Structure 1
Amino acid sequence: MRIAGIILAGGQGRRMGREKALVPLSGVPLIARVLALAPQVEAVAISANGDPGRFGLGLPVLPDRPGESGLGPMAGIRAGLDWAAGIGAEALVSTATDTPFLPEDLVERLAAAAPAHAQSFGRDHYTAALWRVATVPRIDALFAADERRIARLSGGAVAVPFDTTPDPFANLNTPEDLARAEDRLRQNAP
């Protein structure tokens, strides 16, 4: 199966006080840390609105489709699925820009259970998921029903457990979360 990847970087970063994708963690922007996903997929794009040049990573930056701006991660996944289909991929793995400790076998394990999303310690991580390109009509139907919850899109997907300590899906929403991540790196426990 040909698999592409998308980094969901469209959030406002209100609790962090700035755009999370560009927040440095030990001197490296979060989005660059999440880019560790790249060797696991055939191609990677970024889902974000606004100036694509701010990332400076040389990757395609996909804005939400017209009428879907601000509809959350599902809009980014929808744009990513269009892009993935356009490059001949059959599936898309999504990850959030604020999860800098992704497992090195994320794509392999999600693909083995596809369609699938990650789970750690009983908590579902719907933005860390593998979506088949054929999911597009389901997203369109959910948007038509004014449904934006990504958990609804994931219905029927297998939850793949990643129960390693520390949690590989710990997301960074606040300056306090960032400080904990800095401590984690200092302790050399990615």
Structure 2
Amino acid sequence: MRGARCSRAASRGDSDRPRRCRAKPGLGPLAGINAALHCAAARSLDAVLTAPCDTPSLPPDIAERLTAAVPAVFVESMPVTGLWPAAFAAALDAYARSNDGSVRGWGREVEALPYILDEILPNVNSLADLNRLSGHFP
């Protein structure tokens, strides 16, 4: 994601960093988004780019596409893939206390716009899904 539109980045997979930003149980994907927004805010980062772990193939320029769109945006066909301002952390806390954990619902709550991709994103939820994709990766 680093480039012309990103001067600093943090990765949740950073193994040398203390694990201070923990997800809240029971929120599904919103738990990860919530933890990431709080981590980003604590590190004075502007936004969080999210992607689901069961989507192995995102367009290489997805970060550029989403950052060029609007301050808050999610991929229409895969709403866990999105760009969320770190300033939304407290609003997501409030939403999580009173709603069903829907990422699409959260997007509506903060007036994030859906971004329509031309590509179909693969979603791996079973061994059959994984087997269908087996020839697509080196």
State the TM bucket, normalised to the shorter chain. Answer: 0.7 to 0.9
Q: Contact conserved, 2:74 with 2:107, CA < 8 A, in 1? A: yes
Q: Residue type of the partner of 1:149?
A: S
Sequence identity (%) = 28
Q: Contact conserved, 2:41 with 2:89, CA < 8 A, in 1? A: no
Q: Distance in 1 between matches of 2:51 and 2:129?
A: 18
- In structure 1, list runs of 5 or more residues that go unmatched: 1-37, 47-56
Query: In the TM superposition, what is the alpha-carbon distance from 1:63 to its structure 2 partner?
Result: 2.8
Q: Contact conserved, 2:41 with 2:87, CA < 8 A, in 1? A: no
Q: Distance in 1 between matches of 2:41 and 2:128?
A: 39
Aligned match of 1:9: none
Q: Residue type of the partner of 2:32?
A: G
SS for the counterpart of 2:74 is strand
Write 1 or 2 for the structure with the bigger share of strand: 1
Post-superposition CA distance 1:13-49 (Å, at most 9, x none): xxxxxxxxxxxxxxxxxxxxxxxxx556622114xxx
Q: TM-score, normalised by structure 2?
A: 0.81
Q: Distance in 2 between matches of 1:93 and 1:180?
A: 27
Q: Residue type of the partner of 1:160?
A: Y
Aligned match of 1:106: 62
Segments of 4+ moved more than 2 angstroms: 38-41, 57-63, 183-186
Q: Contact conserved, 1:117 with 1:160, CA < 8 A, in 2? A: yes
Q: Residue type of the partner of 2:134?
A: E
Distance 1:146 1:117, change over 3 A: closer
Q: Distance in 2 between matches of 1:59 and 1:100?
A: 25
Among candidates 152, 164, 177, match of residue 129 of structure 2 = 177
Q: Contact conserved, 1:44 with 1:59, CA < 8 A, in 2? A: no
Aligned match of 1:15: none
Distance 1:81 1:157, change over 3 A: same
Q: Contact conserved, 1:73 with 1:127, CA < 8 A, in 2? A: yes
Aligned match of 1:139: 92
Q: Distance in 1 between matches of 2:74 and 2:99?
A: 23
Among candidates 14, 22, 32, match of residue 63 of structure 1 = 22
Aligned residue pair count: 129
Post-superposition CA distance 1:92-135 (Å, at most 9, x none): 0111111111111111111111211113xxxx311100000121
Aligned match of 1:93: 49
SS for the counterpart of 2:15 is coil
